[in-house]
Chains A and B, each alone.
Chain A
Amino acid sequence: MFKYTASEWSAIQLSLYVALICAVITLPLAIAVGWFLARKRFFGKSVVEGILHLPLVLPPITTGYLLLLVFGNRGVIGKFFYETFGIQIAFSFYAAVIAAIFVSFPLVTRSIRLSIELVDQKLEEAARTLGASNLRVFFTITLPLALPGVISGFILSFARSLGEFGATISFAGNIEGKTQTLPLAIFSEMQVPGQEASTMRLVVVSVILSLLAMIAAEFLNRRVIKSKTA
């Protein structure tokens, strides 16, 4: 029953690979945006927040379609890459990563923003009176104190990417070995009669990976709350 076929392994590996790259790219962006939203006030902040959080509530297939419009060979960005570098983004491995980034970004930003908001600004103020530049304050005070939230954001991003389906299938397609991640493989297996065992094998991996990620994120969240209330 638990003997995985080459294509199943390929889907599992691809999923992990996409999720990892997505988390690594999303993290610094989310830290920057999370800090900006936590610490700065500016005109139109609610609109910016609304746009940033849009992928959270949009049907993923809509996100995928919009990404296709922008990154497709005739889209604003896609056209530039295709004509200048000969790179086709849509229906490629890059598309799977981009789709994962877009859907997980608001989730990670929220987590990081919350943990930065919990860092006492008075400590940052104290650091400045001791001669620290804004950059030094960020790296020596804000970031270390928000670290559990940042790590939990990283895991969230990883977990969300593992589960990504709608945006990926519409923007990256369902190409075995190239863009067929775990959820897409499960979907494909479900379409074929007699593949219940294969579906179940993939479902088990999917549940275990997601569960591990959520346990880790919850553990770190508790540590944040504990450290703030200590």
Chain B
Amino acid sequence: MSDLTHFTLLANATSVPWSDVPAWPVADFIDAIGAEITRGARLCSLFGVPEGDATQLVAVLAFDADSTLAIGRSTPLTGAFPSLTATHPQAHLFEREIWEQHGLTPEGHPWLKPVRRTHGGAPATGEFFRVDGGEIHEVAVGPVHAGIIEPGHFRFQCAGEEVLHLEIALGYQHRGIEEALVGGPHRTTLIQMETLAGDSSIAHATAHANLIEALTHIEPPLRAQWLRSIALELERLANHTGDLGALAGDVAFLPSSAACGKIRGDFLNLTAEICGNRFGRGLVRPGGCQHDLEPALAARLLERLITTLADSGQAIAWMWDAAAVRARFENVGTVFPAQASELGMVGPAARACGLVRDVRYDHPVGWHRFAQVPVTVWPDGDVFARARVRSLEIQRSGEFLCEQLGAPPESDLFEALDRPAPDTIAVALVEGWRGEVCHVALTDSVGCFRRYKITDPSFHNWIGLALSLRGTAISDFPICNKSFNLSYCGFDL
């Protein structure tokens, strides 16, 4: 990294005093972010911190190759700021969010509209990008869907079967979690973290716990770190298996569809063995873990895990062996590597475009400093690549678990916490099964949250789904959607 960086550098899951974060006038600040992104940084989060009547902008950047994060901020401002989106598209949603939350206008933003609400109305009542022409037809799907899924609105511009453009309007599940966290942590905070995106309970709870531990300057006991990494991989196994089954179901390939649905439940039950909840709720707590994994239970878990992994391997192999399935997945819903990189996509969706991007490898924290999972990459960017990355991650997470379950570290499980340090900002990244979960917390003068910013991987990736549909048949939307399987509530917060 060059000496030109004026951002404050820090590692994942650490904190710095707020006064050490450099503040620029906003135009210089935006230029500085742009320069860093051009040099290869990735925008993890960009948000506003209220300062009296004005707002300070804060940017968290990641230098993946250097395992380093960088924080910078602007001086307080009101009114408008120059938009970064035109030159660096990965800022597009963050700037819209700042406009929505703080009333600051990003000047020059090409498509400025609300992220989660249309003033007074539902998200779907807003303005949409339109294609005109005699043969163009518009298809509106949602927010109420035929399946039991979350609400979201999809607006397709089609020429016959071909989709020219898809725009996605979300916000139906906005619960005001970030607002509710101000002044916290409250008694309800952990429950809110575990239900931010219900299928990523462990990832979000771990990110929150890492953050609080960074703010209180403690290191959680090794055994807790070990247990968190096990729960995180179990979460990944369950979700990847379920989604591969759903992909098979969407192309009407019944053998894998039926088997994977059942095997997903088996993986969830393994998590339930550890903590009594299938989604791992109540396991991860700031300072450690609430449930231990005794040797007898670990041995039983390992035995069941080996059987379940063999089952899932078989069920997924049926899918790869069926030419009819491969033909449906190949060259459908392609996102090009350049697009993925420009848009700052994360997780399996980015790795399926050939981007080597995995928080467990790039910014290891907790148990991942001692035990690594190989990064899974596939070059093509289509539905096949995304499915392939997920099936390979199942194998690798499985191997990681089999190895780790046999070698538990001996230590306490929980360490008591002090109050968070005052006037400090901390960043925690966790590689959830969808990708990078980013939590940023800034404390006030008494150590309560002054601002808590959550960036779910879905926030980076929804635009990737929209792009994957360009030039694709509208009937292939379900498999494109399922190959990403992004979170609505994780986005809506």
Q: A and B bound?
A: no
Contact surface of A with B, Cβ cutoff 8 Å: none
